[in-house]
Amino acid sequence: MRPHCGINRRTPSVAYSARAKAKPNTLIHQPHWRIRTDTVGVRGHVTLRYLGQLRHLNVGWAYRGQSIRLYVLDDVVTFAHEDGEFIGETRIAPDRDYQPKGEGFRR
């Protein structure tokens, strides 16, 4: 068997194992936030993926077909019109698919 011709006669496996590896950068203790623009469906709901599952958030029949913004901070979702006018706020219950309407909704 012939010796390896690589740097310092190391095998590919040894050379690979010696390199620094990228590790997952999990920010579990950091707040998760995002801003979404969505259109309210015909039943007054918008959908949002939370904890790997699609949740249906109740905005209200009065907002059907309107474009709204969702400001998500961890499990709290704030709804607002495109111009920034406050609609309401809800806290996502992780054990429910269809979320009830939260506190402070106007109209």
- Please tell me the predicted confidence (pLDDT) of residue 44: 92
Does residue 80 fall inside a structural domain? yes
Range of the domain at 90: 23-99
- Please tell me the predicted confidence (pLDDT) of residue 15: 83
Number of domains in the chain: 1
Does residue 88 fall inside a structural domain? yes
Q: φ and ψ at 8, to 5 degrees?
A: 55, 25
Q: Is 80 exposed, middle or buried (0-12, 13-18, 19+ CB in 10 A)?
A: middle
Q: Mean pLDDT in each 10-residue stretch from start to end of the chain (107 residues)?
A: 71 84 72 91 93 92 94 93 91 89 66
- Please tell me the predicted confidence (pLDDT) of residue 14: 84
- Please tell me the predicted confidence (pLDDT) of residue 77: 93
- Please tell me the predicted confidence (pLDDT) of residue 104: 63
- Please tell me the predicted confidence (pLDDT) of residue 8: 78
At 90, the amino acid letter reads T
Does residue 52 fall inside a structural domain? yes
Does residue 75 fall inside a structural domain? yes
- Please tell me the predicted confidence (pLDDT) of residue 46: 95
Does residue 31 fall inside a structural domain? yes
pTM of the model: 0.68
